[in-house]
Structure formats: structure tokens, C-alpha cells
């Protein structure tokens, strides 16, 4: 017991070292520039989407209410990792305190789990709109939409507090070097000097509840949506119905596709390098592309953007 407490106290005092950028120290200037541009694009793009869905009365519908919340979540999501990454590259110093790492991990998994639930709520919205259009205004009331968004945040918060506490009460080995861009569950488990069986059980239970289950609901929703679209007699009608879902489908593919590689495949200590780049993709690149996807593929959003940018 005393040995474990000593290890924990050592961990608290020394923190961790994020080594991902140390592998390419000669490219630090380029890395900083690229990351800064990405962060500015994420902030500008998602803020613009959120702004037009508030200002334009034609976008005051449940679909754009969820999109506005998704944009806010994406800003928070990237702000958990990117500012620290920028500082690490600028100073050529990947050190992060024990409490800083715990806070970063907590908000990362909190926002990631919330996004899974929010994407499921958006799929349900499209299901009701296409499969039950006559009942849509009543079924997707403002009160229900608000409860779905608040529930997406509220359901995740206590669970992720428990997971973060469970992980950071583990004793860590003498080496606190994380070959990663930020604090994440798999690389931290690799550093633990104790049996992580129950941590793995907790991790996969959380993935099952907040990622796999929402994904199954999304798949079921789109099966019903596709069936309803195929019953539409006109080609134009089918195209119009599918176009309202295409942006959401692309966002789902980007987010779930890269996250699945990290959390649902078998993880080993030797898989760190590929994993860290996939993690970078779904935490940074996906939030950057989301506003572009919705603005380029959604006619109503494009019209609202033109009205906002070119109105004198």
C-alpha cells in the first residue's frame, strides 16, 4: 500500500510528458502554423454556423438547433487539446501536470461521449422529419429538443467523472512519457503499473453505452429513413429527402470512422504511432470539416451565409 501511495505521489509531482511532437522536432515551425490555422478555422467556421442559426429565422428549426449545439460542442472539443498542443510545439516542451492531464482527459471523453449522443438525437430528428412529416412539428417540439441536448450532457457527466477518477488513482510507472498528442485513455493505461482489467471493463462499458448504442440507434433510424425515401415516387423528391441527411451522414462517417480505430479495435503497446494520428483526426480534423460539410451541402445554410456576409 505504501509503495502504491509513493508511486501516486510521484505521479502527482512530476506529471506527464507528451512526446508526439518530439518525434519531428525539425518540423516544429510547420506544425505550429498548421495547428494554428486549423484551430482558427474550427473557431471561425463553427462560430459562423452557430451565429447564422441564431440570426436567420428560416433556420429556427430542430435540425439547426441541434447543429448549433454541435458547433458549440466542436469548439469546446478542439479547445481541450489544441491550445495545449500549440504551447507544447512553441516551447518545444511537452510536459503536462498530473491535474492538467486529468482535466484534459475528463473534458475530452465528456465531449466525445456527448457528441455521440447528440449525433443520435440529430438522426432521430431526421427520422421523424422524413418518416413522419405530418407529426414533425408536434413530435420535435422545442421542449423535447432542449431535453435531448441537456440529456446528452447530463447523462455523460457523472460517468466520466467516475472513469477519470478510476484511471488517475492507478499507480503509474517511473516513465511518464506519453507517445501521444494529448492525454487519452489507451496511452495512460499503458503506463499503469497495476492490473487494469476493471479499467478496461469500465472503458468498454462506457463505449458500449455512449458510442455503440447511439450508433445502433443511428443505423436503425437510417434504415427507416432509406425505406421511406425509396417509397417516394419522384426522383427529385427522393434526392431532396436524401440531401437533408447527407451532411449528417458525412459527419457521422468522419467521427465514428476514426474514433472506432482507437477505441473498438484491439489496443497494444506497439500501436501507439498509428493510433495517435487517428486520434488527431477525430479530435481536430473532423471539427474543422463539419462547418464546411454543412455549408457546402446544405442549400438553406448557404443562403443564410450569403445573406449574413453580403447584407449591407
- Residue 265 CA to residue 253 CA, distance in Å, equals 17
Q: What is the pLDDT of residue 7?
A: 40
- State the cell numbers at 306: 450569403
192 by DSSP, 3-state: which?
A: strand
Length of the chain as a residue count: 312
% of the chain with per-residue pLDDT over 90: 45
Among residues 164, 25, 20, the alpha carbon closest in space to that of 85 is found at 20
Q: What is the pLDDT of residue 21?
A: 65
- Residue 268 CA to residue 277 CA, distance in Å, equals 15
Among residues 294, 213, 285, 309, the alpha carbon closest in space to that of 37 is found at 285
Q: Per-residue pLDDT averaged across 220-235, rounded?
A: 91
172 by DSSP, 3-state: which?
A: strand
Note the pLDDT tens digit of each residue in 6-38. Answer: 444 444 457 898 887 655 566 778 888 999 999
- State the cell numbers at 149: 441536448
- Residue 150 CA to residue 229 CA, distance in Å, equals 30
Domains of the chain, earliest start first: 2-310 (1.20.1070.10)
Note the pLDDT tens digit of each residue in 114-123. Answer: 999 999 999 9
Note the pLDDT tens digit of each residue in 150-192. Answer: 999 999 999 999 999 999 999 887 678 888 889 988 889 888 8
Q: Per-residue pLDDT averaged across 215-233, rounded?
A: 92
Among residues 187, 177, 190, the alpha carbon closest in space to that of 22 is found at 177
Q: Per-residue pLDDT averaged across 123-129, rounded?
A: 94
Note the pLDDT tens digit of each residue in 100-113. Answer: 999 999 999 999 99
% of the chain with per-residue pLDDT over 70: 87
**Phi and psi torsions of 95, nearest 5°:** -70, 140
Amino acid at each position: 500500500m505504501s509503495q502504491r501511495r509513493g508511486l501516486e505521489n510521484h505521479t502527482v509531482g512530476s506529471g506527464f510528458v507528451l512526446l508526439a511532437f518530439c518525434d519531428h522536432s525539425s518540423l516544429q515551425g510547420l506544425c505550429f502554423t498548421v495547428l494554428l490555422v486549423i484551430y482558427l478555422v474550427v473557431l471561425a467556421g463553427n462560430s459562423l454556423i452557430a451565429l447564422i442559426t441564431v440570426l436567420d429565422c428560416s433556420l429556427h428549426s430542430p435540425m439547426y438547433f441541434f447543429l448549433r449545439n454541435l458547433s458549440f460542442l466542436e469548439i469546446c472539443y478542439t479547445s481541450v487539446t489544441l491550445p495545449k498542443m500549440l504551447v507544447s510545439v512553441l516551447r518545444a516542451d511537452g510536459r503536462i501536470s498530473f491535474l492538467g492531464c486529468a482535466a484534459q482527459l475528463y473534458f475530452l471523453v465528456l465531449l466525445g461521449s456527448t457528441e455521440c449522443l447528440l449525433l443520435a438525437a440529430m438522426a432521430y430528428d431526421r427520422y421523424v422529419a422524413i418518416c413522419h412529416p405530418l407529426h414533425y412539428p408536434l413530435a420535435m417540439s422545442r421542449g423535447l429538443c432542449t431535453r435531448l441536448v441537456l440529456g446528452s450532457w447530463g447523462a455523460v457527466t457523472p460517468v466520466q467523472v467516475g472513469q477519470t477518477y478510476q484511471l488517475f488513482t492507478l499507480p503509474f510507472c517511473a516513465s511518464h512519457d506519453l507517445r501521444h498528442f494529448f492525454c487519452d485513455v489507451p496511452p495512460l493505461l499503458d503506463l499503469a503499473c497495476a492490473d487494469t482489467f476493471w479499467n478496461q471493463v469500465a472503458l468498454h462499458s462506457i463505449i458500449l453505452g455512449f458510442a455503440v448504442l447511439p450508433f445502433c440507434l443511428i443505423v436503425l433510424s437510417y434504415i427507416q429513413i432509406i425505406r421511406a425515401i425509396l417509397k417516394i415516387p419522384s426522383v427529385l423528391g427522393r434526392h431532396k429527402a436524401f440531401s437533408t441527411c447527407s451532411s449528417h451522414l458525412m459527419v457521422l462517417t468522419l467521427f465514428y470512422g476514426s474514433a472506432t480505430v482507437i477505441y473498438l479495435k484491439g489496443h497494444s503497446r506497439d500501436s501507439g504511432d498509428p493510433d495517435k494520428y487517428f486520434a488527431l483526426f477525430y479530435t481536430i480534423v473532423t471539427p474543422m470539416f463539419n462547418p464546411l460539410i454543412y455549408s457546402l451541402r446544405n442549400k438553406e445554410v448557404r443562403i443564410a451565409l450569403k445573406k449574413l456576409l453580403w447584407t449591407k
